[in-house]
Amino acid sequence: MMKAVIAAGADAVYIGGPKFGARAYADNPDTEALCGAIDYAHLHGVSVHMTVNTLVKEREMDGLCEYLEPFYRCGVDAVLVQDPGVLSVIGQAFPDLAIHASTQMSVTGPAGIRMLEEMGVRRIVFARELSLAEIAEIRSQTDMELEVFAHGALCVCYSGRCLMSSMLGGRSGNRGRCAQPCRLPYDLFLEGKRINPEREHDLLSPKDLCTIDLLPRMIEAGVDSLKIEGRMKKPEYAAGVTAIYRKYLDRLAMGEPHRVREEDRQELWRLFNRDGFTDGYLTGKTSGMMAQKNLKTVRGAREKGKSGTDRGLKNPGNAENTSAALPEPGKLRAEARAVCRAKEALSLTVRCGDISVSVSGDAPEEALRQPVTEERIAQQLGKTGDSEYIFEKIEVETDGKCFLPVSALNRLRRDAVEALRQEMLSPYRRKMPAPYEPFPEKEKASGAPKGEAGSAAALAETVSRDGDGMPVLEVLVSSKEQLEAALKEPAVIRIIAEWTAPAKEPSRPASLQEIRVFAEGCRAAGKEAFLALPAVVRTGAECSRKGYRIDAGLLSETASGTGIDGFLARDTEGLALLAGAGLSDRTLADSSLYTLNRAARNVIRKKAVLGDTASFELTVHEMADLDNSRTSLCVYGRIPLMVTAQCPVRNNGMCRRKPGFGRLRDRKGQEFPVKRECAFCYNVICNAVPLSLLTEMKTIRKMRFAALRLLFTDEDAGRVHSLVNAFAKAAEAGAASPEEAASAYTKGHFRNGVE
């Protein structure tokens, strides 16, 4: 596949090795094969970007540098990463290796880009949800290389924010093993009534992305690199799509008007489409992207054989078409000059471009009868076979007296070709820098990351309300009813409110005055008041269409003018904005800012000084590998399975711009609450069964977490009261009440690990 896309015109390829890649089930090459692939690409002037874009657990981190070493030595051009700990370790262990922030990081704005640039990132692969207007605005504020997906499969969820496959099937999308439950059928219920039309069940399955018509606008917006999805596709698909995009980019570079030929559109369709194409979010639209909305049109056209969509008849059932011939890998054009004189060392000089090498062989004997001719020497030297080279020109200088076996010429040619190959690859070769040890052995024994022991101990002392390590009980509330109920609970020490919770109208964010009232109410009740930033912060043009823009200025004003105690950051942009506003010492990081290893916790805790939140994908044993003295653990709540810019309610014609809940019902009858956050224009799909670690409190107490968190989504005031009391008693006594323990809950991955 790599050879085919290079032949089709790719400037770079991204590819995974046997570990740490977001396509664990792809036919990934082993170490030797991948090094060979890197060499092949470099000989053809193409860069190789290696995927190391999964979340990495603490016990896996020791093998990271050793795994990367052979690829670093042979000259891989860049690595794509998601995990902040992996980013940090690679940046320090391999300081001259370019790092690209994967789309799995869900980078959405300039503040996040600046923060990642300070950490050594050289290229950003944007979240797929950004519009061209947002990208242009970001481009005006940064010189960072910007890459966007241009063609292929779309995720319905912000990449890196999906736990659906993990929680439902034990296969983590964050670790390269997504089972794609979003492609399964669902029905949507609102106020108890099914609202999706009959036969239209693909509510979470987007059409495939195709941006061939948007190329001039993407260039104008400042995009540096276009990414074609293809790692689990067929070579014919990857090469065919690459060739078409290459053709139109070259025409634009020559100043030609952008007119896409109909046969090229049909070829893209024929190669593969998932019930049609969409231009994604690039034009600023969020509707018409789902396969659901295209089923009747496409199926009807297939049945009738209409022009324009009857190409679908050649590709039924979303199957990849592999009838196209693969482009032949091109040979590198070289020249050769041989000198052959009797009793003098045989010599051969070969040149490719500006690079030339010379090799010598044994001295030929003087011929007794028939000396070897120039034509015979040239003919034998020209048999470059399976090598990457073809000799376009061969000069031979001979005295006409040489006896020369064919084997000697073959050996000379092989030596010359290999010497040329090594000379062309030599600029890419690297030597390993000094060994890097992120955590010396004495720090491993202490359990406290470097530079944090003092502050972690101090924080643990302040949060121990009874002096024996009792963690803070904190609640995250989503509504005014939940907020008012939490204020009445003596056991609650910290209230984290969604930005809309203190507002009189939940369809808009709370005003500064409403936040001030919230903070004053918490203070009067002896509680800390925290404000949760949106799950995804977007500061670009499209996101500000409602006139509400979260930036560093607003955060500073909120912090100084409302009496709020702190903030909960949930994504890269939000974390960076808070740091830029000088609020790191009042910032707590949510579980979506993943800290599965100590290096990641070091990175996040520098920006979120109050601490982090344990990932839902860690087991009790994996959490025990980490310092938890500045970590919150979610012990109750509906786990957020997806954060999506799509709204199933709106897509089915029921949008009233009012927040609330719908429910998705799967083929097994499970119902997943869909929380509509209309103020910030995203939806959160929650797990059907709430998480509860109530029966694990005895174990949890021993792990010395800084805080235990209850997540409230659709609970009423009475439920808030009963849950807070149940967890408060269990935290103190180390045992759960029989009534609560008997309810229908899940323990998530607390006891059962995830692939």
CB atoms inside a 10 Å sphere around CB 716: 12
Q: What is the DSSP string of 570-596?
A: -SHHHHHHHHHTT-GGGEEE-TTS---
Instruction: Say if residue 506's pLDDT is above 50.
Output: yes
Please give the average per-residue pLDDT across 76-96, as a whole number: 96
Lowest-confidence region among 9-13, 323-327, 505-509: 323-327
Cα–Cα distance measured from residue 261 to residue 208, given in angstroms and rounded to the nearest whole number: 20
Phi, psi (rounded to 5 degrees) for 153: -70, 145
Report the distance separating Cα 711 and Cα 715, nearest Å: 10
For residue 547, what pLDDT is reported? 60
pLDDT at 319: 66
Q: Please compute the mean of the pLDDT values over residues 357-374 and round it to a whole number.
A: 93
CB environment 424-437: b (16+ within 10 A), e (fewer): bbeebeeeeeeeee
pLDDT over 90 at 123, yes or no: yes
Residue 426: per-residue pLDDT? 97
Range 236-251 average pLDDT: 97
Spatial neighbors of 82 by CB under 8 A, at least 6 apart, are: 22, 53, 54, 55, 102, 104, 105, 160, 174, 594
Lowest mean pLDDT among 139-153, 310-324, 396-410, 715-729: 310-324
pLDDT tens-digit profile of 393-416? 999 999 999 998 999 999 999 999
Average per-residue pLDDT in the chain? Answer: 89
- Would you say residue 184 has pLDDT above 70? yes
Summarize pLDDT for 53-85 with one digit per residue, the tens: 999 999 999 999 999 999 999 999 999 999 999
Report helix angle 84-93 to 64-74, nearest 10.
50
Distances (CA, A) of 351 to 18, 337, 392, 573: 36, 9, 11, 50
pLDDT above 50: residue 557 = yes
Q: Give me the mean pLDDT over the 169-173 stretch.
A: 91
% of the chain residues with pLDDT over 90: 77
Return phi, psi of residue 194, to 5°. Answer: -75, 130
Question: Tens digits of per-residue pLDDT, 621-675?
Answer: 999 999 999 999 999 999 999 999 999 999 998 887 788 999 999 999 999 999 9
Query: Residue 36: is its pLDDT beyond 50?
Result: yes
Name, in order, each residue with C-beta under 8 angstroms of 531's C-beta and a sequence gap of 6 or more.
Answer: 496, 497, 499, 515, 518, 558, 564, 566, 567, 568
**DSSP one-letter string for 47-94:** EEEEEE-S---HHHHTTHHHHHHHHHHHT--EEEE--HHHHHHHHHHS
Confidence label for 706 from pLDDT (cuts 50, 70 and 90)? very high
Give the pLDDT confidence score for residue 232 in this predicted structure: 79
What CA–CA distances, in Å, run from 507 to 191, 269, 436, 497? 18, 40, 50, 15
Token pair, residue 92, equals: 């320090």
Q: For the segment 669-694, what is each residue's pLDDT rounded down to a tens digit?
A: 999 999 999 889 899 999 999 999 99
Question: What pLDDT, on a 0 to 100 scale, did the predictor assign at position 24?
Answer: 55
543 secondary structure, DSSP code:
G
Q: What does the pLDDT read at residue 735?
A: 66
Q: What integer pLDDT is reported at residue 264 of this predicted model?
A: 97
pTM of the model: 0.91
Q: Looking at the predicted structure, is the pLDDT value of residue 297 above 80?
A: no
DSSP-derived letter for residue 500 is T
Range with the lowest mean pLDDT among 205-214, 280-289, 445-454, 545-554? Answer: 445-454
Edge-to-edge strands, sheet with 332-340: 355-361, 346-352, 332-340, 389-398
Band of residue 736 on the pLDDT scale cut at 50, 70, 90: low
List, for residues 340-350, the tens digit of each pLDDT value.
999 999 999 99
Q: Which domains does the chain have, with CATH numbers?
A: 2-162+194-316 (3.20.20.70), 163-193+639-689 (no CATH), 332-428 (no CATH), 462-638+694-741 (3.20.20.70)
Q: Quick one: which H or E segment has residue 733? A: helix 717-733
